[in-house]
Chain A
Amino acid sequence: GDSVTQMEGPVTLSEEAFLTINCTYTATGYPSLFWYVQYPGEGLQLLLKATKADDKGSNKGFEATYRKETTSFHLEKGSVQVSDSAVYFCALRSNSGGSNYKLTFGKGTLLTVNP
């Protein structure tokens, strides 16, 4: 079945540091890939997505590129801010096997950015 593996946290960075959170996936079919973010006390929010190979999703300075050859969708940001402190979830949604209704998530990575 489909699965997502993402970097174990927690990750602690200083403000303006470079961020990478690794994410790899296994899927039968042609999944869409997502990064969701959960700020303290809030629900999961879509951060960015990519729907086909070589697509780059971007939002709020975050980027991730859909790499089919390495089955990866790593999240990057060049200069993190304290306000980026949150839990980040990599996820996929596949159109194979009739299971296009569900998202498959990774465990989440807690990011803490210190001033």
Chain B
Amino acid sequence: EPEVTQTPSHQVTQMGQEVILRCVPISNHLYFYWYRQILGQKVEFLVSFYNNEISEKSEIFDDQFSVERPDGSNFTLKIRSTKLEDSAMYFCASSQGSATNEKLFFGSGTQLSVL
């Protein structure tokens, strides 16, 4: 089965630094997503992206966050100035369509630790 790949698997950064989390979605998928899970909490939706623009974002996704599809294969999440509370597992996902019953394919995640 095709896979979504995420790099790095673990990222450690200092508070206030910028980080970029990278994802390669499945090649024929059109919809892209970021989710995150803070330790012990629910997996939370951050943002969805389609046709080179954000289609929906959560309250968590404030001005410190941005997403980009810089070329035909990568999908990145940037955090401009990291805070301690940004420490979490970040999951990228992609799907072919946007129907309610659509299957999302997830990557294995990037564990972000902000010190």
Contact = CB atoms under 8 A, between A and B. Distances in A.
B55 interface: yes
B109 A103 contact: no
Contact of A51 (B31, B45, B100): B100
Given A43-B109, A107-B41, A108-B43, A49 B33 contact: no
Contacts of B6: 43
Interface in B1-52: 3-4, 6, 31, 33, 35, 37, 40-45, 48
A115 interface: no
Given A51-B101, A100-B98, A45 B43 contact: no
B65 to A, nearest CB: 15
A42 B52 CA distance: 28
Contacts of B75: none
A43 B2 CA distance: 12
Contact of A44 (B45, B91, B100): B91
Interface string A77-91: 000000000000101
Contacts of B35: 103, 105
Contact of A46 (B4, B98, B100, B104): B104
Interface of A: 4, 30-32, 36, 41-46, 49, 51, 89, 91, 93-95, 98-108
